[in-house]
Structure 1
Amino acid sequence: MPGNKAVAYQGPGKVTVEDTDYPEFELKEGPGVNPANVGRKVPHGAIVKAIATNICGSDQHMVRGRTTAPQGLILGHEITGEVVELGRDVEFIKVGDMVSVPFNISCGRCRNCKEGKTGICENVNPDRPGSAYGYVDMGGWPGGQAEYVLVPYADWNLLKFPDREQAMEKILDLAMLSDIFPTGYHGCVTAGVGTGSTVYIAGAGPVGLAAGVSAFLLGAAVVIIGDLNKERLAQARSFGCETVDVSKGDPKDQIEQILGVPEVDCSVDAVGFEARGHGRDAATEQPATVLNTLMEVTRAGGAIGIPGLYVTGDPGASTEAAKVGSLSLRLGLGWAKSHAFFTGQCPVMRYNRQLMMAILHDRVQIAKAVNASPIPLDQAPQGYADFDKGAARKYVLDPHGLLGSRA
């Protein structure tokens, strides 16, 4: 049996690459594993050899110490790879299949899954609906920033690529299907982006950039992305977005300079709870800033997609209210403008097959747009550190050295 190496959270600001157990078809006791899940049999699962597994901004929240993640938690929920072993109940997925693994873990059997709401599956997390690999309070399923990972309900969860050779040619693009591409797309779909739309996206990290690509794919006329990071704003401009530097002041004024009016048709929050202020307040954390700004700049009757992460427990928050996810929102403004708000995990399976086809048939180059950058698994700590400093890159871990010089 092969060994396994994985990236583990070791406390605020620190991750390490550790030797860990090769997956079995049973959940074992370990850091973050829900006690009610210990001993859970997984005959419906598959073991996937990770060919590409990405560092996500959601992981970074944990590594900064901004969640209740326990020390030793194996990280990683963006997984693309090859099936190497099957549980006895798997019927359709085969050993050797190249697959994308949605970050949502779902059973395919509960009411929510049957309604397409795979981000809030009722059967995989004993504490509450919704689960993900390697994430705090998500049931304790081991993460996929590893050489090998267990995927439950394999026939349901895994998206098989049609051709292995073609998949390897486009592996960095396909690696974005596990999370950020569907997440950015979901933000735009729920915001109502369509032909001729004007769109404001808060945040030029990988999800924000993926949302920008998605907005164009959906037919937007103008896509504006706002951020504090000049390198990330330059990355947004590289594929046709207009940009707003929120360190220079109110986004509304800069949007008016671009469009001639201070409002957009729809907007997307790709920042989440670690938002900073605008203008002179850009150096301070103000977690409600983005949501309040989007209500201000979105036209009456418009919608706001909120794929950016908000949490119920933030020990690093600056106020007692924010530590439990309570923010000072101008809900009255949103109510007065009849805004629609869409929150929660992206249900990846609602979009991943369609986006796969767009990639395979050269309708989109998502890896280029987000500046996908492969690094070896043992360089994960440096990748986390550089990403935390604002690198305009999407770091893709290469556990088995199969990505070569792709960039």
Structure 2
Amino acid sequence: MPGNKAVIYQGPGEVTVESVDYPTLELKDGPGVNPANVGRKVPHGAILKVVASNICGSDQHMVRGRTTAPAGLALGHEITGEVIETGPDVEFIKVGDLVSVPFNIACGRCRNCKEGKTGVCLNVNPDRPGSAYGYVDMGGWVGGQAEYALVPYADWNLLKFPDKDQAMAKIRDLTMLSDIFPTGYHGCVTAGVGTGSSVYIAGAGPVGLAAATSAFLLGASVVMIADLQKERLDQAKSFGCETIDVSTGDPRDQIERILGRPEVDCAVDAVGFEAHGHGGEAGTERPATVLNTVMDVTRAGGAVGIPGLYVTGDPGASDEAAKVGSLSIRLGLGWAKSLAFTTGQCPVMRYNRALMEAILHDRTQIAKNVNATVIPLDQAPQGYADFDKGAARKYVLDPHGMIK
């Protein structure tokens, strides 16, 4: 049995790469594992040799100490890998398959899974609907920023790439299928993006850039992306986005200069609960700023997609209400404009197969647009540090040196 190394959260601001247990077809006790899941058998699971596992902004929230994540938690929910072992109940996935792993863990059997709501599966997390690998309060399924990882319900969860050689040639793009590409796409779909749409996207991090890529794929005429970081705005501009520097003032005024009117058809919040103010408040955390802005700049009768993460527990919040996820949002404004809102985890399986086909047939360049940057597993701590400083990159961990 080979060894295994993984990226471990040690406490606010610190991650390390440590030797950990090799995965087995049973959930073991450990940091963050729900006691009700300890000893859970996984005969329907598969063990993967991880080909790529990406650093996500959601991971960064934990590493900043902005969640209740325990020290010792193995991180990582964006996983692409090669199947090296299957449980006795796995029928269709085979050893040797190269697969994408949706970050949502779903059983495929419950009411929500059968309705396509795989982000809120009822059977994988004893505390609440919905689960993910290596994430706080998500049931304790071990993270995939590692050399090897366990995936339950393999026949249901895993998306097999049709040709391994073709997939490896496009692996930088295909690794985005585990989370940020479907998540950005979901934000746009739920915001109603279509042919000729004008779109405002808050946040030029990887999810925001994926949302912008998705907006173009869906036929948007104008895609505006807003951020505080010049490097990230430059990255958005590199593939055709109009950019809005919210450190200089109200996005509404800048939208009017671009469109000739101050409102858009569709808006996407790709920032989440660590939002900062605009203009003179740009250096101050204002967790409701983006939610209020997207309501303000979306036309009456429009829709807002909210793939940006909001949490129920934020010990680092600036006020007591925000520590339990209570924000001062202008719901009356949204109601008065008859806006539609969609929140929550993206149900990755709703989109990943279609987006895979778009990648394989050269209809999109998601890796280029998010500036995918491959680094070895042992450089993960530096990747986290650089990402935290606002690097306009999507860091892809390559545990086995398999990515050319």
Report if TM-score (shorter chain) is over 0.5.
yes
Which residue in the other structure is 1:21 paired with?
Answer: 21
The 2-side partners of 1:107 and 1:130 are apart by: 10
1:135-150 alignment runs, 5 A limit: 135-150=135-150
2:251 matches 1:263: no
The 2-side partners of 1:174 and 1:246 are apart by: 32
Instruction: Tell me the secondary structure at the aligned position of residue 396 of structure 1.
Output: strand
The 1-side partners of 2:118 and 2:258 are apart by: 38
The 1-side partners of 2:318 and 2:287 are apart by: 9
Q: Report deviation, 1:211.
A: 0.1
The 2-side partners of 1:384 and 1:285 are apart by: 21
Identity %: 84
The 2-side partners of 1:302 and 1:49 are apart by: 44
The 2-side partners of 1:365 and 1:50 are apart by: 23
2:360 matches 1:381: no
The 2-side partners of 1:141 and 1:80 are apart by: 16
The 2-side partners of 1:248 and 1:334 are apart by: 25
1:45-60 alignment runs, 5 A limit: 45-60=45-60
Equivalent AA in structure 1 for residue 173 of structure 2 = D
TM-score (norm 2): 1.00
Off by >3 Å, runs of 4+ in structure 1: none
Which residue in the other structure is 1:178 paired with?
Answer: 178
The 2-side partners of 1:39 and 1:294 are apart by: 45
The 2-side partners of 1:270 and 1:296 are apart by: 16
1:216-365 alignment runs, 5 A limit: 216-365=216-365
The 1-side partners of 2:348 and 2:295 are apart by: 26
The 2-side partners of 1:13 and 1:402 are apart by: 29
2:88 matches 1:88: yes
Partner deviation per Cα, 1:314-348 (whole Å, 9 max, x = no partner): 00000000000000000000000000000000000
Equivalent AA in structure 2 for residue 384 of structure 1 = Y
Partner deviation per Cα, 1:109-164 (whole Å, 9 max, x = no partner): 00000000000000000000000000000000000000000000000000000000
Instruction: Tell me the secondary structure at the aligned position of residue 173 of structure 1.
Output: helix
Q: Report deviation, 1:91.
A: 0.1
Instruction: Tell me the secondary structure at the aligned position of residue 226 of structure 2.
Output: strand
Partner deviation per Cα, 1:245-293 (whole Å, 9 max, x = no partner): 0000000000000000000001000000000000000000000000000
2:106 matches 1:106: yes
C-alpha RMSD of the superposition: 0.3
The 1-side partners of 2:81 and 2:373 are apart by: 17
The 2-side partners of 1:81 and 1:139 are apart by: 22
Q: Report deviation, 1:204.
A: 0.1
1:128-167 alignment runs, 5 A limit: 128-167=128-167
Which residue in the other structure is 2:367 paired with?
Answer: 367
Equivalent AA in structure 2 for residue 119 of structure 1 = G
TM-score (norm 1): 0.99
Instruction: Tell me the secondary structure at the aligned position of residue 247 of structure 1.
Output: helix
Structure 1 residues without counterparts, runs of 5 or longer = none
Equivalent AA in structure 2 for residue 127 of structure 1 = D
Partner deviation per Cα, 1:198-222 (whole Å, 9 max, x = no partner): 0000000000000000000000000
- Give the number of aligned pairs: 404
Instruction: Tell me the secondary structure at the aligned position of residue 141 of structure 1.
Output: coil
Equivalent AA in structure 1 for residue 286 of structure 2 = Q
Q: Report deviation, 1:403.
A: 1.1
Q: Report deviation, 1:23.
A: 0.2
The 2-side partners of 1:251 and 1:291 are apart by: 13
Equivalent AA in structure 2 for residue 87 of structure 1 = G
The 2-side partners of 1:32 and 1:342 are apart by: 28
The 1-side partners of 2:122 and 2:49 are apart by: 27
The 2-side partners of 1:357 and 1:340 are apart by: 29
2:112 matches 1:116: no
The 2-side partners of 1:49 and 1:303 are apart by: 40
Structure 2 residues without counterparts, runs of 5 or longer = none
Equivalent AA in structure 2 for residue 338 of structure 1 = S
